[in-house]
């Protein structure tokens, strides 16, 4: 028996990296998972990994910034698994510049993916959750505790040079979390944030040739941290290293457990002991 048996989860950006590990972790504990990625192949690979381990999952491919994505994401869970219990807003990327060189396009893109997209997903989920609660009350049944976990960053708690857009978006996630915890408490929904420190993913690790990019809707975005800077950053972490995606997923899982049913509106820093 898994701790999440019978639960239905949606995890944005779960074809790769931290999101993939979150999906695998939730599924390993019995949750049925809707896997999302911008590209079909990584999403299918995550679903295949879940199914090969005996779990259940389906894909919902597309950009979280599409205007209709929130409704489509939520409806995929309802259509395939009959409900919705866990929402993890994880999708995102960085597009850095010092403020005098940052374009409106950079600012808007990062605010859209990290803040507007979670807002739209949560807005789309409200009617489903409200209806389920209403039906449970009418039938005299207990109302299960549902979970929302929004992903932030130490850039959102303390700021980071060269990341005015990302820092602002992630700080906004904290505000969204606290507001929704107050709105959705009446539905027995907890809403929390996990703020990651240095987690070693494709967004932080620079290839040997020093030229790391990712493709976002046809646009090549430079990613990666200078290896020397990355080593210096790791030395600042009390645990002496960057975290793994699996460890990051573990922090998200804590907020999905029944043991955290009375914890809401909180920010958990997953940073190996380092924080601002």
Active site residues: 166
The residue behind tokens 């695998």 is 24
Structure-block tokens of residue 79: 């259509």
Gap between the Cα atoms of 65 and 113, Å rounded: 6
Q: Among candidates 232, 236, 95, 116, which has minimal Cα distance to 167? A: 95
Burial class (CB in 10 A: 0-12, 13-18, 19+), 97: middle
Q: Among candidates 35, 26, 146, 126, which has minimal Cα distance to 86? A: 146
Q: Dihedral, CA atoms, 11, 15, 21, 27, nearest 10 degrees?
A: 60
């Amino acid at each position: 028996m898994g701790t999440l048996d019978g639960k239905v989860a949606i995890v944005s950006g779960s074809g790769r990296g931290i999101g993939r590990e979150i999906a695998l972790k939730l599924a390993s504990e019995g949750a049925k998972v809707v896997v999302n990625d911008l590209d079909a192949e990584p999403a299918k690979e995550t679903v295949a990994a879940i199914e090969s381990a005996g779990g259940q999952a389906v894909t919902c491919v597309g950009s979280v910034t599409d205007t209709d994505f929130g409704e489509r994401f939520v409806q995929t869970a309802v259509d395939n698994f009959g409900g919705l219990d866990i929402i993890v807003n994880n999708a995102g990327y960085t597009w850095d510049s010092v403020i005098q060189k940052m374009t409106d396009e950079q600012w808007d893109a990062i605010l859209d993916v990290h803040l507007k997209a979670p807002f739209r997903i949560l807005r789309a989920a409200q009617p489903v959750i409200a209806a389920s609660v209403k039906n449970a009350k009418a039938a005299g049944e207990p109302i299960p505790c549902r979970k929302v976990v929004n992903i932030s960053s130490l850039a959102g708690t303390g700021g980071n040079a060269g990341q005015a857009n990302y820092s602002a978006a992630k700080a906004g996630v904290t505000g969204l979390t606290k507001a929704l915890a107050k709105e959705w408490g009446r539905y027995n929904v907890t809403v929390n944030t996990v703020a990651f420190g240095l987690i070693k993913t494709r967004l932080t690790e620079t290839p040997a040739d020093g030229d790391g990019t990712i493709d976002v809707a046809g646009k090549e975005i430079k990613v990666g941290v200078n290896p020397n800077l990355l080593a210096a950053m790791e030395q600042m972490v009390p645990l002496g290293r960057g975290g793994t995606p699996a460890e990051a997923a573990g922090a998200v899982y804590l907020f999905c457990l029944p043991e955290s049913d009375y914890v809401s509106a909180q920010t958990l820093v997953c940073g190996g002991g380092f924080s601002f």
